[in-house]
Amino acid sequence: MKIQSIALKVLILLGSAITTSGAVAQISSSIRFDAQTKIFRIDAAGITYAFGVNAQNQLQSIYWGPQIGRDDLLRGPAANAGVAAFDPSFTTTPLEYAGWGAGLFVEPALKISFPDGNRDLVLQYASHSIEGNKLTVTLRDTSRDLFVDVHYHVDEATGIIARSSSVINRTHEPLVIEQIAAASWNLSPGTDYFLRYLTGRWAGEDTLQHQKILPGETILESRRGSTGHQNNPWFAIERGEQTDEDFGEVWFGALAWSGSWRITVEQDQVRNIRINGGFNPFDFAYSLKPGEKLESPVFYGGYSKDGIGGASRLLHHFELSRVLPQAPNPRPRPVIYNSWEATKFAVNETGQEALAEKAARIGVERFVMDDGWFGQRKDDHAGLGDWYVNPQKFPNGFKPMIDKVHSLGMDFGLWVEPEMVNPDSDLYRKHPDWVLNFPGRARSESRNQLVLNLARRDVRDYVYKFLDQLLSENDIAFLKWDYNRNWSEPGWPAVGASSDEQKKVYVAYIENLYGILGELRAKHPRVEIESCSGGGGRVDLGILTLTDEVWPSDNTDPFDRLRIQDGFTYAYTPGVMVAWVTDSPNWVNNRTTSLNYRFLSSMQGSLGVGANLDTWGPADFETAKTLIAAYKQIRETVQHGSLYRLISPQGGSEYSATESVSIDKQQAVLFAFLHSSQMGYPFPQIRLRGLNPTTQYRVTPISGALAKETPAIASGSYWMRHGLEVNLKGDMQASAFKFEDNSAVHSSN
Ligand code: DGJ
């Protein structure tokens, strides 16, 4: 009987999907083409995406939103009329993938220069193929053998569509691609759309912006050679003023590319809303010889009717189940210790071993040694590029230290910054031509370093070889892969003087970066990797297909982190968001906070400790030990559950609160933070979300107290409707509570 019911549960789960509210719904996914109406229709997880071939043979967008009746689309799309002579039909018709030509004045998806000087490109439907949940539509220019495959791959559980494009030159001459999008997304005309996006800078990442979409174009981009701290390749568009965290329609997208990128959001002359995204066309060119092909990155897009909170939960589940290297079942992130803020570059065998002993005492599972261990690295002026173990700091190599870390029950991780070189290094003295540069021009240094041109085969091989060797010769479970500057003078002289060839660096560099990561993972499948770029400068869904976690910011002030972490979760799951507890006062703001506050701030993501444990007293160790043990009981829920941002810390809010609910709804965790009590007002009553209304949940404090009247056990509907009062007063206060299905608590006792 028991086995039968387990089997039934497995079957139900296999045929089910995560809905935007985190609930489980039946899967229904299909891709259909109606030959009569010439309409393509993708239905999945309660969402319909439709487009078709119009009378001009163009691929025209029709609909994207909640699922519509099976037989509702009875007529194929008709191209829009133009607006007088100035905005012809070609520019006012919402096209799935428009070439620049024939009077297109909105953002093109593709712009090409042919060798005869022709730059007119008009793409028409040629053929298509459907395989399961994948659709490819092939477009061809009206007169030349220039083909574009427009790809759609729908995820059955979330309705998120992965779109990308490949351009194939089947002409007999070379051509140059000047602009190429992964996809164009169209929303029906309107003036009531609002855009959310993320902005920032070093130590100030992921600030959420919210603005009305007005006529014209908003550009989100990086021209820096990598993802960048300044904008993140993610957007969300809400319709109407009433939408909020839990209600309203939201269309969202994320571009999977770790190089220079661009997303444009446009309201055109007939109030169509178009979103284009792909390689940044700034300083871009990619020449294709006959027979060659260029593939764009993937641009994911999704829809939620459950507000921006529903949109992020969909993305989180999608990332965990489809994107991450360990998807669909990523291992929970271990609790790490990182040496950076404690020792800076002054790492050595005895110092690291002493820290490791203390880290083990509080329950850390992975000990990570940061910068300073290699070459002649004493500070940031020298050593990058020389990846041998510094013999003064580690006279016996790494083995005794790693053995010690293992004997303490932890695994060992190591910091590397493979793509960079200090001019003061043996590598640079030997290979000055290996960096990005324009001959005869200055090589601008940032943090005293230059960028190795990973697009070069010899550089790629060097980087792969030293990393492979490091991982083969040492028992290393984890790499923190850092990247601490942006590009300048992005020349690639070795490919010749043609700037069109040299500009391929924007694509080839990132392809090689992905190639190295992929090969390393294949050869060392147990090794996990963190993407770090001076904090959160390289966080995107491209790097996240090859790395297990990211470092969101060098800013470890626990109060600033609340806002950075909140912004981060609009686009990325807390399951990849590493958050360290560091020393107080914090180096960023000189702000003093309790160890308890620091822990609770970091426990909302993947918990780590980066404090100098050599300066801790017995009480600190006790607090850390208790909270790390508590974290281990809730981490599955925090990292892989459904996140509800109950009270936002954005906009200088006095309070904030988050709640995570496990997928089976048996556990929930609430974190509440008070910046400073004002006028004696109480902390607002908190109403939970996402619980099972009829389940009885028992509440237990992880840290802090509830109001006296709070019941120990109450139904999900009580916690969600009546809510609870957390007893927070004072400055920089925090509390956390665990809610557990009372029947599960009983049966496990
Ligand atoms: C920047 C990173 O974000 C820090 O955590 C640290 O690893 C330093 N680099 C080391 O140079």
Distance CA 293, CA 304 (A): 34
Cβ atoms of 366 and 331 within 8 Å: the answer is no
In the predicted model, is pLDDT for residue 12 greater than 90? no
Q: Which atom of ligand 1 is nearest to the CA of 533?
A: 3
The alpha carbon of 340 and the centre of ligand 1 are apart by a number of angstroms equal to: 7
The predicted pLDDT at position 431 comes to 98
Please give the backbone phi and psi of residue 11, each rounded to the nearest 5 degrees, phi first: -60, -40
One fold for 3-323 and 646-748: no
Residue with the smallest CA separation from ligand 1 atom 5 is 554
Residue with the smallest CA separation from ligand 1 atom 1 is 534
Q: Which of 205, 344, 415, 580 to mutate to test the pocket of ligand 1 (most atoms within 8 A of CB)?
A: 415
Average pLDDT for residues 672-687, to the nearest whole number?
95
Helices and strands per DSSP (H, E), number in the chain:
15, 38
Distance CA 332, CA 605 (A): 11
The answer to whether 447 is annotated as binding is yes
The alpha carbon of 371 and the centre of ligand 1 are apart by a number of angstroms equal to: 7
How does DSSP classify residue 37? T
Distance CA 194, CA 208 (A): 13
In the predicted model, is pLDDT for residue 638 greater than 70? yes
Nearest CA among 249, 285, 198 for reference residue 563:
198
Residue among 141, 482, 557, 566 flagged as catalytic: 482
Q: Which atom of ligand 1 is nearest to the CA of 551?
A: 3
Q: Which atom of ligand 1 is nearest to the CA of 380?
A: 11
How does DSSP classify residue 99? B
The answer to whether 234 is annotated as binding is no
Q: Is 482 one of the catalytic residues?
A: yes
Please give the backbone phi and psi of residue 113, each rounded to the nearest 5 degrees, phi first: -110, 125
| Share in percent of the chain as helix, strand, coil (round to 5) | 25, 35, 45
Tokens of 727: 């007893």
Distance CA 666, CA 729 (A): 30
Nearest CA among 292, 299, 50, 348 for reference residue 171:
292
Ligand 1: lining residues by beta carbon, under 6 Å: 340, 370-371, 415, 482, 484, 532, 534-535, 551, 554
Distance CA 376, CA 301 (A): 46
The alpha carbon of 535 and the centre of ligand 1 are apart by a number of angstroms equal to: 7
Q: Which of 532, 578, 587 to mutate to test the pocket of ligand 1 (most atoms within 8 A of CB)?
A: 532
Distance CA 533, CA 236 (A): 24
CB atoms within 10 A of CB 140: 19
CA atoms lying within 13 Å on the CB side of residue 430? 9
The predicted pLDDT at position 216 comes to 98
Nearest CA among 553, 552, 556 for reference residue 589:
556
Question: What pLDDT band is residue 202 in, cutting at 50, 70 and 90?
Answer: very high
**CATH code for 646-748?**
2.60.40.1180
Q: Which of 226, 482, 485, 531 to mutate to test the pocket of ligand 1 (most atoms within 8 A of CB)?
A: 482
For the sheet with 528-531, list strands across it: 549-550, 528-531, 478-481, 411-416, 366-369, 336-338, 606-609, 578-581
Please give the backbone phi and psi of residue 61, each rounded to the nearest 5 degrees, phi first: -70, 145
Tokens of 471: 């991982």
The answer to whether 483 is annotated as binding is yes
In the predicted model, is pLDDT for residue 5 greater than 50? no
The answer to whether 283 is annotated as binding is no
Percent of the chain scoring above 90 in pLDDT: 93
Q: What are the pLDDT digits (tens) for 405-448?
A: 999 999 999 999 999 999 999 999 999 999 999 999 999 999 99
Distance CA 726, CA 162 (A): 42
Q: Is 38 left (phi over 0), alpha (psi -120 to 50) or beta?
A: left
DSSP E strands in 459-577: the ranges are 478-481, 528-531, 549-550
In the predicted model, is pLDDT for residue 11 greater than 50? no
Q: What are the pLDDT digits (tens) for 283-330?
A: 999 999 999 999 999 999 999 999 999 999 999 999 999 999 999 999
Is the peptide bond between 490 and the residue preceding it cis, with omega within 30 degrees of 0? no
The alpha carbon of 471 and the centre of ligand 1 are apart by a number of angstroms equal to: 20
The answer to whether 120 is annotated as binding is no
Q: What are the pLDDT digits (tens) for 76-102?
A: 899 999 888 999 999 999 999 999 999
Residue with the smallest CA separation from ligand 1 atom 3 is 534
Residue type present at position 33: F
The answer to whether 370 is annotated as binding is yes
Residue tagged 């959001």 (tokens): 265
Cβ atoms of 24 and 18 within 8 Å: the answer is yes
Cβ atoms of 604 and 671 within 8 Å: the answer is yes
Domain boundaries, the chain: 3-323, 646-748
Residue among 554, 560, 566, 741 flagged as catalytic: 554
Average pLDDT for residues 167-172, to the nearest whole number?
98
The alpha carbon of 415 and the centre of ligand 1 are apart by a number of angstroms equal to: 8
Distance CA 737, CA 474 (A): 41
The alpha carbon of 580 and the centre of ligand 1 are apart by a number of angstroms equal to: 13
Average pLDDT for residues 329-357, to the nearest whole number?
98
In the predicted model, is pLDDT for residue 744 greater than 90? no
Higher pLDDT, 27 or 253: 253
DSSP E strands in 336-460: the ranges are 336-338, 366-369, 411-416, 420-421, 450-451
Nearest CA among 74, 21, 66, 60 for reference residue 44:
66
Distance CA 322, CA 319 (A): 5
The predicted pLDDT at position 748 comes to 52
The answer to whether 202 is annotated as binding is yes
3-state secondary structure of 76: coil
Residue with the smallest CA separation from ligand 1 atom 2 is 534
Distance CA 385, CA 423 (A): 9
Nearest CA among 44, 55, 238 for reference residue 153:
44
Question: What pLDDT band is residue 243 in, cutting at 50, 70 and 90?
Answer: confident
Residue tagged 């178009």 (tokens): 274
The alpha carbon of 305 and the centre of ligand 1 are apart by a number of angstroms equal to: 39
Q: Is 548 one of the catalytic residues?
A: no
CB atoms within 10 A of CB 453: 25
Average pLDDT for residues 588-599, to the nearest whole number?
98
Q: Strand 411-416 to strand 478-481: parallel, antiparallel, or no bridges (unpaired)?
A: parallel
Specify which residues 701 forms β-bridges with. 737
CB atoms within 10 A of CB 13: 11
If residue 462 lies in a helix (H) or strand (E), which one and from where to where?
A: helix 457-473
Residue tagged 């009983």 (tokens): 746
Cβ atoms of 254 and 141 within 8 Å: the answer is no
- Rounded to whole angstroms, what are the CA distances from 708 to 497, 669, 677, 696, 726? 76, 19, 20, 19, 10
Is the peptide bond between 585 and the residue preceding it cis, with omega within 30 degrees of 0? yes
**CATH code for 3-323?**
2.70.98.60
- Rounded to whole angstroms, what are the CA distances from 342 to 251, 398, 409? 43, 19, 21
